Amino acid sequence: MNIITKNLVKDFLTENELPSQNESVDFEKFSVYSVARKYYSSEFDLSDIVVGSGADTGLDGIILIVNGMLVNSKEEIDDLRKRNNYLDVVWILVQAKTSQNFDSGDVNKFCLGVEDFFLSSIGLQANNDIVEKKSLWEHIFSNHAVALRNNPKCYLYYVCNGVVNDSLNDHLSITNNLKNKLEQASLFSSIAFKLCGANEINALYKEARNNLTCQIYFASKTSFPQIKTVTSAYVGLLPLKEFKKLIVDDDGNVKNVFEDNIRDFLDLTNPVNSKINDTLNGEDCFLFPLMNNGVTIVANRLQQTGDVFILFDYQIVNGCQTSNVLAKYIDKDSLGDLSIPVKIIETTDIDTKNNITLATNSQTQVKREQLAALSNFQKTLEVYYNAASLTPKLFYERRSNQFLNDGSVIKARIITVQNQIKAFAAMFLRKPHQVTSYYGELTKNLGMENSDIFNPKHQPLTYYLAGHCLYRLEAMFRAGSIDSTNKKYRFFILFGFVSAILKNDLKSLDFTSERVNAKNLKPLQDILGKQDVTNTLLKTITDSIVSSSIITGKESLKLSSTTEAVYNLCCNIAIP
């Protein structure tokens, strides 16, 4: 690797608290991460997408994105179809080599691995991670083919430290041969094969570390008068070709710019979306700017030169439905003169962003996780993480990518909303069997008065300790102190950990009383204050669960009886 790539890989390992193994493995992880972040900008667990470890069939990374979410289980796919009534599927497969040149033999091996993964035509021996990913491919077509809006998209990346130039004709003939085979199978709506050299993969990593930016030409606009907490604000009509830059990437995929929006896209089965679609597809499409409420965009910073605007770190906080319907017509010639009503607001004030988001969203079904993320409880929890005394210091990310450009925050120490929900539910609601398989059920009433999670009356300490336990366990997986093959049991391990410490008291916790909560959780907090004791106990819990006959297969991970058996086992484990 050249000195630039070496230093970027070193930065990547530090940011994610990953131990250096060897140059080849480090580069594989770096490459898979960099490619994945191009298509999915939220935090994710690298071990869920890296598959290159013996019998990898020439594949180092497999990323599956469904409806804009990175998924790793059949249950997650089922849940997304249930919630959205459709599936939008993207597959990304990656192979990375540290070689200084593009080796045609390695490119061909990657192509054979891809062919075998999608077509099962070669019969290559595959490791468990690849077999598991392949089962998701089969599950989508076997159970959800009718729900596919379009055939899946496929992106294939071969990465090395060479130089992409005109001398790669032989390699391109190999990749084109694979593309032809996949096209003949009629499985994908689009297939792209990308050869990435050092310059290309380095650029992808740097892009992953930078704010989302976009330059548009915005001539038909009026500025708002000065508003407190708002740096600047504009309202006007944005031509469709300029709006396209905000919502669609170079590959034609809808960008992940709806993180602050409190709704999922509800597809054309929703009456509002159906009317938008009919308008755009009909003779009265020119009336669209008068009939639509428009799109609200919030950016952390605007740079204006005349009518040219550059938006930094922006999100569409209202207009998810409109934007996704428009994406279907973004290149339609008959809509070339169409303009979109937009508001662009520049502010870094989180409360102002929240108020704008809530005020401009009132028509369709609310996405509860995001609504809860805007509540006062979430603000309180973020502040509590910042003030808590356990080491190392963790950061609660109630908004996706809020710490992206904060150099003082090690990314491995970020607890996301989703991981917070899973850790709390597994440990303190005694539901490790539900956190992956039935996650949608857990999030039904988030943030409401009767909710088991993010209840406004709950004290933040319990959530913080759950997040800290999860971080400690994940750190042991990253360091290799606990074999990463046991990650599929991680929420049972967390439940066993708290069961061993609190024993019968776990059944009678009061999450609403600050005094009672602090007293009941003191034994857990004391253990977490001793890193060596915590690590020893986590290792003991893991070994005990793995060596027992409690978990007999994947289906047993979904059973409440498994949770009860883990509780009975771990209550009898002595604290070191």
pLDDT number for residue 170:
85
pLDDT number for residue 259:
67
Is residue 347 within 8 A of residue 426, CB to CB? The reply is: no
Long-range contacts: 355-362, Cβ < 8 Å, 24+? 356/296, 356/298, 356/317, 356/318, 357/260, 357/261, 357/262, 357/298, 357/317, 357/318, 358/262, 360/296, 360/317, 360/318, 361/261, 361/262, 361/263, 361/317, 361/318
pLDDT number for residue 163:
92
Within 10 angstroms of residue 321's Cβ, the number of other Cβ atoms is 24
Residue type, 178: L
* Exposed / middle / buried, residue 295 (Cβ in 10 Å: 0-12, 13-18, 19+): buried
pLDDT number for residue 527:
96
| Distance from C-alpha of 225 to C-alpha of 231, rounded to nearest angstrom | 10
Is residue 56 within 8 A of residue 514, CB to CB? The reply is: no
Choose among 39, 533, 501: nearest CA to 251: 39
pLDDT number for residue 261:
58
Choose among 96, 1, 24: nearest CA to 58: 96
Q: How would DSSP label each residue in 147-189?
A: GBSSPPEEEEEEE-SS--STT-HHHHHHHHHHHHHHHHTT--S
SS3 label, residue 395:
strand
| Distance from C-alpha of 333 to C-alpha of 42, rounded to nearest angstrom | 34
pLDDT number for residue 69:
87
The backbone region for 228, taken as left when phi is positive above 0, alpha when psi lies in -120 to 50, beta otherwise, is beta
| Distance from C-alpha of 238 to C-alpha of 287, rounded to nearest angstrom | 15
pLDDT number for residue 477:
95
pLDDT number for residue 372:
59
128-144 and 104-119 helices cross at what angle (nearest 10)? 40
- Cis before residue 289, ω within 30 degrees of 0? no
| Distance from C-alpha of 97 to C-alpha of 89, rounded to nearest angstrom | 27
Average pLDDT, the chain: 88
Within 10 angstroms of residue 313's Cβ, the number of other Cβ atoms is 17
pLDDT number for residue 116:
94
What percent of the residues of the chain are helix, what percent strand, and what percent coil, each to the nearest 5?
50, 15, 35
pLDDT number for residue 508:
82
pLDDT number for residue 57:
85
pLDDT number for residue 391:
93
pLDDT number for residue 230:
93
Instruction: Please state which architecture CATH assigns to domain 3-209.
Output: 3-Layer(aba) Sandwich (3.40)
Choose among 442, 545, 549, 453: nearest CA to 494: 545
Is residue 318 within 8 A of residue 213, CB to CB? The reply is: no
Token readout for 22 is: 């060897």
pLDDT number for residue 566:
96
Token readout for 517 is: 């909560």
Walk along the chain (576 residues) in steps of 10 and give the mean pLDDT of each run. Answer: 93 94 95 94 88 83 92 90 88 96 93 94 88 95 93 96 88 93 95 95 88 89 92 94 89 76 63 78 80 89 94 88 82 80 90 78 55 73 93 90 81 93 95 81 72 89 97 95 92 97 89 88 96 97 94 87 96 90
Strand order in 295-305's β-sheet? 213-217, 308-318, 295-305, 339-346, 232-239, 220-223
pLDDT number for residue 299:
92
Question: β-pairing, 395-397 with 339-346?
Answer: unpaired
314: which strand partners? 299
Is residue 135 within 8 A of residue 73, CB to CB? The reply is: no
Q: How would DSSP label each residue in 268-287?
A: TTSHHHHHHHHHHHSTTGGG
Q: How would DSSP label each residue in 495-550?
A: HHHHHHHHGGGGGG--SS-HHHHHHHTHHHHHHHT-HHHHHHHHHHHHHHHHHSSS
pLDDT number for residue 510:
87
pLDDT number for residue 263:
53
Which residue ranges does the chain devote to CATH 3.40.91?
3-209
* Exposed / middle / buried, residue 196 (Cβ in 10 Å: 0-12, 13-18, 19+): buried
Element (H, E) at 309: strand 308-318
pLDDT tens profile 219-269:
999 999 988 899 999 999 999 899 999 998 887 778 878 866 555 666 666
pLDDT number for residue 5:
95
pLDDT number for residue 266:
65
